[in-house]
Amino acid sequence: MPINGTPEQWFAWLTSTNQRHRHKAKLILGSLTPADVVDIQVLIHALTSENDEVIFWATVALGCLGAQATQAIPMLISVTHHPAFGHRQAAIKSLSQIGPNEMAAKAAIIAALQDASPFVRRQALEAMIGMQNIDADDLECIRALQADPDSAVVAWIEIALRNIGLQ
């Protein structure tokens, strides 16, 4: 089924005052699939926007597109340093969806295990489940979170290690 509009239009709708258009843009950006043909460069450029909502939804959209968005990995890694934890969380998820075999994506996810936000640390643990080429050092980075003050992070350590072991 064809997608209504273009990436440029989606971001225009997203930043408009029309609530119906804003909602429509979010639905489109959040429901893209790897089968959709989208101008990746427009989404990558949106990651440099001054508008945090544009950055967030571009991050989500790139993740939804999966491997076809591999060229976005360096820019998504920069989003893992964004001041808003939700942006960092979305970037971690997108990196795991786009580059499960990419060493740079894995390194950014491993680094996020030390993020100040427990939400980002938990997302990094979940993301590690889908990453390939997990080695002993990576597993040690996960285990090092056993003393994490957040109980959800500690619970996700077991979930991540169990699921990584099942691969």
pTM of this structure:
0.94
How many angstroms separate the CA atoms of 90 and 114, rounded? 16
Query: What is the residue type of 92?
Result: I
pLDDT tens digits along 102-161: 999 999 999 999 999 999 999 999 999 999 999 999 999 999 999 999 999 999 999 999
pLDDT tens digits along 12-43: 999 999 999 999 999 999 999 999 999 999 99
How many angstroms separate the CA atoms of 89 and 59, rounded? 10
